[in-house]
Structure 1
Amino acid sequence: MQPEKLTDTAFIHPVYRKLLDYLDIGIHMINTEGRSVIYNRKMSEMEDMNPKEVLNKRIMEIFLFDSEEESRLLQALNNNVVHKDAKQVYFNFKGQEITTVNNTFPLTVDGEKIGAVEIARDITKLERLSRETSRGASDARFTFDQIIGNSPAIEDVVENARRATRTTSSVLIYGETGTGKELFAQSIHNGSSRASKPFISQNCAALPDTLIEGILFGSVKGAFTGATDHPGLFEQANGGTLMLDEINSLSASLQAKLLRAIQEKTIRRIGDTKSRSVDVRIIATMNEDPVDALSKNKLREDLYYRLSVVSIVIPPLRHRKEDLTVLIAHFIRKYNRLFQMNIQEVTDDVFNLFSEYDWPGNVRELEHTIEGAMNLIYDDEPIGFQHLPLHLKHKFTQPPATSEGTERLFTQQPEPGLPLETYMDTVEKAYIQKSLTEAGGNISQAARTLGLKRQSLQYRMRKFNL
Structure 2
Amino acid sequence: MEILESAAEMRTLLAELRHKIQVYETILERLDVGIHVIDNKGKTIVYNDTMSKLECCATTEVLGKDLLSAMPHLTTETSTLLTVLRTGKSLTDRQQNYINAHGKQIVTVNSTTPLLIADKVMGALEISKDITFIQALADKIVNLQENLIKQKKGGQVPHHPNTRYTIESILGEAPLLKVAIHYAERAARTPSNVLIFGETGTGKELFAQSIHNLSPRKHHPFIAINCAALPEQLLEGLLFGTTKGGFTGAIDRAGLFEQANGGTLLLDELNSMNMELQAKLLRVLQENIVRRVGAANEVPVNVRVIATMNMDPSAAIEQKKLREDLYYRLGVVTIRIPALRERKNDIAIYTTAFIKKYNSALKVKIKRISPGVEDIFLRYNWPGNVRELQHVIEGAMNLIVNEEEIEVQHLPMLFCANAAVSAESPREAAVRPVALEAGQTLGDQKELMEKTIIAAALAETGGNTTRAAGRLGLTRQVLQYKIKKYKLK
Using the size of structure 2 for normalisation, the TM-score is: 0.60
Residue 328 of structure 2 corresponds to residue 319 of structure 1: no
Segment drifting more, 390-399 vs 356-365: 390-399
User: Among residues 108, 127, 136, which one is paired with 2:136 in the alignment?
Assistant: 127
Residue 187 of structure 2 corresponds to residue 187 of structure 1: no
Distance 1:246 1:125 in 2: 18
User: Among residues 155, 167, 177, which one is paired with 1:154 in the alignment?
Assistant: 177
Measure how far apart 1:46 and its partner are.
5.6
CA contact (8 A) 2:34 2:52 kept: no
SS of aligned partner of 1:148: coil
User: Among residues 78, 98, 106, which one is paired with 1:100 in the alignment?
Assistant: 106
Identity of aligned residues (%): 49
SS of aligned partner of 1:135: helix
Distance 2:301 2:314 in 1: 30
Task: Name the aligned partner's letter for residue 150 of structure 1.
Answer: E
CA contact (8 A) 1:352 1:400 kept: no
Q: Where does structure 2 lack aligned partners over 5 or more consecutive residues?
A: 1-25, 37-47, 59-95, 109-129, 149-160, 421-454, 464-489
Shift in CA distance, 197/390, structure 1 to aligned 2, threshold 3 Å? same
Measure how far apart 1:156 and its partner are.
1.8
Residue 406 of structure 2 corresponds to residue 383 of structure 1: yes
Distance 2:52 2:166 in 1: 47
CA contact (8 A) 2:97 2:105 kept: no
Measure how far apart 1:393 and its partner are.
1.9
Task: Name the aligned partner's letter for residue 373 of structure 1.
Answer: A
Residue deviations 1:409-450 (CA, integer Å, cap 9, x gap): xxxxxxxxxxxxxxxxxxxxxxxxxxxxxxxxxxxxxxxxxx
SS of aligned partner of 1:284: strand
Task: Name the aligned partner's letter for residue 133 of structure 1.
Answer: V
Cα-Cα RMSD: 3.3
Task: Please give the residue correspondences for 1:322-341 in structure 2 after superposition, counting only pairs within 5 Å.
Answer: 322-341=345-364
Shift in CA distance, 400/216, structure 1 to aligned 2, threshold 3 Å? farther
- How many equivalent residue pairs? 319
SS of aligned partner of 1:194: coil
CA contact (8 A) 2:221 2:260 kept: yes
Measure how far apart 1:24 and its partner are.
4.2
User: Among residues 382, 385, 398, which one is paired with 2:456 in the alignment?
Assistant: 398
CA contact (8 A) 2:240 2:257 kept: yes
Task: Please give the residue correspondences for 1:223-372 in structure 2 after superposition, counting only pairs within 5 Å.
Answer: 223-372=246-395
Q: Which residue of 1 aligns with 2:74?
A: none
Measure how far apart 1:384 and its partner are.
0.9
Q: Which residue of 1 aligns with 2:429?
A: none
Q: Which residue of 2 aligns with 1:427?
A: none
Task: Please give the residue correspondences for 1:3-152 in structure 2 after superposition, counting only pairs within 5 Å.
Answer: 24=34, 41-42=49-50, 99-100=105-106, 123-136=132-145, 138-152=161-175
Measure how far apart 1:100 and its partner are.
3.4
CA contact (8 A) 2:202 2:340 kept: yes
Distance 1:86 1:332 in 2: 49
CA contact (8 A) 2:97 2:250 kept: no
Shift in CA distance, 357/400, structure 1 to aligned 2, threshold 3 Å? farther
Q: Where does structure 1 lack aligned partners over 5 or more consecutive residues?
A: 1-17, 27-39, 52-84, 93-97, 103-120, 407-466
Task: Name the aligned partner's letter for residue 312 of structure 2.
Answer: D
Measure how far apart 1:229 and its partner are.
0.6
CA contact (8 A) 2:369 2:405 kept: yes
Q: Which residue of 2 aligns with 1:434?
A: none
CA contact (8 A) 1:199 1:241 kept: yes
For the pair shown, the structure with the greater C-alpha radius of gyration is: 1
Measure how far apart 1:248 and its partner are.
1.3
User: Among residues 233, 256, 262, which one is paired with 1:210 in the alignment?
Assistant: 233
Distance 2:49 2:105 in 1: 17
Shift in CA distance, 390/101, structure 1 to aligned 2, threshold 3 Å? closer
Residue 168 of structure 2 corresponds to residue 168 of structure 1: no
Measure how far apart 1:99 and its partner are.
4.0
Residue deviations 1:257-303 (CA, integer Å, cap 9, x gap): 00000010001000100000011000000001111111112111100
Task: Name the aligned partner's letter for residue 228 of structure 2.
Answer: A
Using the size of structure 1 for normalisation, the TM-score is: 0.62
Task: Name the aligned partner's letter for residue 398 of structure 1.
Answer: A
